[in-house]
Amino acid sequence: GDVELGDFEHYMLKEIFEQPQSIENAMRGRLNLDNATAVFGGLNLTPQELRGVDRILLTACGTSWHAAMVGEYLIEEMARIPVEVEYASELRYRNPPVPRRTLVFGITQSGETADTLAALREMKRKGHPTLAICNVVGSSIAQEADGGIYLHAGPEIGVASTKAYTSQLVVMAMLGLYFGRLNHLSFDQGYRIIRAMQALPDAVRKALTTQDQARKIAEKYQTSNNFLYLGRYFNFPTALEGALKLKEISYIHAEGYPAAELKHGPIALVDENTPSVFIMPQGVVYDKVMSNLQEIKARGGPVIAIASEDDHEIDNYADDVIRIPTVEEFLQPIVSVIPLQFIAYHIALLRGCDVDKPRNLAKSVTVE
Ligand code: G6P
């Protein structure tokens, strides 16, 4: 492509390091402290239509689908609007009942994923307002949707999505704020959400200092053939995304799971050669995830923890710990995914894989 690599060995690494900037670009001009809400220029819906939304349907594929899952938790919590998440490839042929006044979002970095486009068209045909959340300006989905929100992340070249994902998460948080302020969120709550979001670029900059630790962990576990990624609540999708990154670029089998579901199957996989990555920053589910972690330790499984910088307990239980800066709980997925991107990148490098162009995968999948 015509995008310069600069000092970076791979586009993926370059794009990981661009995240403080791409996150800032996603928020630029969209956080309004005077009204304590988010502002989007291209929704193309009247205030009446927007206020009338009483359900949201998010549809996507791959990493974008993980962003949708975080979106579900965020929007439901902030706006108390029921949110449904559907794989586009399922939605397009399933014909589920979608109630009136459901706003449909297609989330796609490229704006060209065939299934996502088709699912959006199908919803449009049924009379729903459709919006696109995408990165590529003028892409097919941007042209077909009624309106949308651009990520402004700049071109993403690496096949494994990194900066587009964190930008999608930022957009999800802004949508939670926006619909929250149309409904029950107070000025003060909206204001505090904006302040927390404005601290994100610095938090992500700090999280980028975890690369060396991630490289050491990669060296230690590079020959493992199975990994588990575990998290709960906002970091359940982070577990899915961490596992997907590893699969995509290092060709290692990995499963992402909600940590409490371990006991319903995946715990049978645990042995001394199967590392578990726990995404467990401080928060309401911390103690619960800690007891899930101890179930793994008791069965001889190595544990890598992604934990808060001020967590003094975790060193007693995990074999390896990567510390990430503290942010509001709803923003944790944006910070906690960074070390997982590094772990996947360095394991792939050590195993001699083509990080930017993994076998069998394409940057945008324009066939169904
Ligand atoms: C492909 C890419 C993934 C991406 C998915 C969805 O599978 O390899 O990285 O998450 O498509 O792409 P989209 O452009 O729709 O976000």
Confirm if 166 and 197 have CB atoms less than 8 A apart.
no
Between the CA of residue 210 and those of 54, 171, 243, 254, 342, what are the distances in Å?
41, 25, 18, 21, 8
State whether residue 253 is helix, strand or coil.
strand
Q: Enumerate residues lining ligand 1, CB below 6 A.
A: 61-64, 108-110, 113, 116, 159-161, 361, 363-365
The one-letter amino acid code at 352 reads G
Let me know if 206 is a catalytic residue. no
Between the CA of residue 221 and those of 3, 168, 248, what are the distances in Å?
33, 30, 17
Mean pLDDT of all residues in 108-135 = 97
Residue 109 CA, ligand 1 centroid: distance in Å? 7
Mean pLDDT of all residues in 56-63 = 98
**Residue-wise pLDDT tens digits, 18-48:** 999 999 999 999 999 999 999 999 999 998 9
Q: Give me the residue label for tokens 């993926």.
A: 12
97-101 own/partner pairs: CB under 8 Å, 24+ apart: 98/55, 98/57, 98/123, 98/126, 98/128, 99/54, 99/55, 100/127, 101/52, 101/53, 101/54, 101/55
Residue 108 CA, ligand 1 centroid: distance in Å? 7
53, two tokens: 């939304």
Between the CA of residue 238 and those of 56, 143, 213, what are the distances in Å?
21, 30, 19
ipTM strictly over 0.95? yes
pLDDT band at 58 (very low <50, low <70, confident <90, very high): very high
Sign of CA dihedral 195, 201, 206, 211: positive
Residue 160 CA, ligand 1 centroid: distance in Å? 8
- Which regions of 219-271 does DSSP assign to beta strands (E)? 226-231, 253-258
**Residue-wise pLDDT tens digits, 268-280:** 999 999 999 999 9
List, edge to edge, every strand of the sheet that includes 147-150.
Answer: 83-87, 55-60, 102-108, 130-134, 147-150
Residue 64 CA, ligand 1 centroid: distance in Å? 7
Cα–Cα distance measured from residue 163 to residue 240, given in angstroms and rounded to the nearest whole number: 16
**Residue-wise pLDDT tens digits, 132-156:** 999 999 999 999 999 999 999 999 9
pTM of the full structure: 0.97
Q: Give me the residue label for tokens 């900066």.
A: 163
Cα–Cα distance measured from residue 235 to residue 151, given in angstroms and rounded to the nearest whole number: 22
Pocket test for ligand 1, best of 12, 66, 109, 248 (most atoms within 8 A of CB): 109
The residue whose CA is least distant from atom 4 of ligand 1 is 62
Residue 365 CA, ligand 1 centroid: distance in Å? 7
The residue whose CA is least distant from atom 7 of ligand 1 is 62
Mean pLDDT of all residues in 305-312 = 96
Bridge-based pairing state of the strands 253-258 and 226-231: parallel
The angle formed by the CA atoms of residues 352, 355 and 361, to the nearest 5 degrees, is 115
Q: Is the pLDDT of residue 2 over 80?
A: no
Confirm if 140 and 127 have CB atoms less than 8 A apart.
no
Q: Say what percent of the chain tops pLDDT 70.
A: 99
Start-end of H helices in 57-104:
62-79, 88-94
60 Cα nearest atom in ligand 1: 15
Which of 124, 297, 357, 363 is catalytic? The answer is 363
111 Cα nearest atom in ligand 1: 14
State whether residue 332 is helix, strand or coil.
helix
The residue whose CA is least distant from atom 2 of ligand 1 is 363
Cα–Cα distance measured from residue 81 to residue 326, given in angstroms and rounded to the nearest whole number: 27
Phi/psi-derived region of residue 34, left when phi > 0, alpha when psi is between -120 and 50, beta in every other case: alpha
Pocket test for ligand 1, best of 63, 156, 166 (most atoms within 8 A of CB): 63
Mean pLDDT (the chain, rounded): 96
Between the CA of residue 15 and those of 19, 312, 345, what are the distances in Å?
7, 32, 12
Residue 165 CA, ligand 1 centroid: distance in Å? 10
Between the CA of residue 273 and those of 150, 258, 341, what are the distances in Å?
42, 21, 21
Q: Is the pLDDT of residue 173 over 60?
A: yes
The residue whose CA is least distant from atom 3 of ligand 1 is 62
